[in-house]
Amino acid sequence: MLTLLTLLVACFDQLDVVKDAPVLDSPDDTPEREEVERQTNAFLASVMQSILPIVAKSNLCMITGLLGLLLDRSNIAAVARTKVSFVGLVSSLYRLIDFSIAWSSTVDSVFESCGSD
């Protein structure tokens, strides 16, 4: 599953839901916009919901590697404007924040125990 996740991240800006995302910015309800909306919602409900538990259980090295891969291989400006990437990036950033809070708490505990001697 990690291989699939890595390939998905590496080719993220090539996905139809990313390439066609600007269509969703149109205020007009056209058949094309409705189709892109349907595909985006299906992607969020199926693919992203399968990936998020893996991301949540991944270690910091894996998360930073995936984010680095996304930044290096994708047009990040175009990807960031999509509904799909917003969900993925936000969940990854929350994971990094949770990890840094846990790490900070651990370091604080070590300093407190050293200072009490």
With CA atoms as reference, report the closest residue to 79 among 7, 33, 13, 15. 13
Task: Note the pLDDT of residue 23.
Answer: 92
pTM here? 0.67
Residue 36 has a pLDDT of 94
What would the two tokens of residue 59 be? 């270690």
Q: Contact, 52 vs 90, CB < 8 A?
A: no
Whether residue 80 contacts residue 86, with contact meaning beta carbons closer than 8 Å, is answered with yes
Which structural domain, as residue segments, surrounds residue 34? 2-115
Please give the pLDDT value at position 7.
Answer: 87
Counting the structural domains of the chain, the total is 1
Residue 84 has pLDDT above 90, yes or no: no
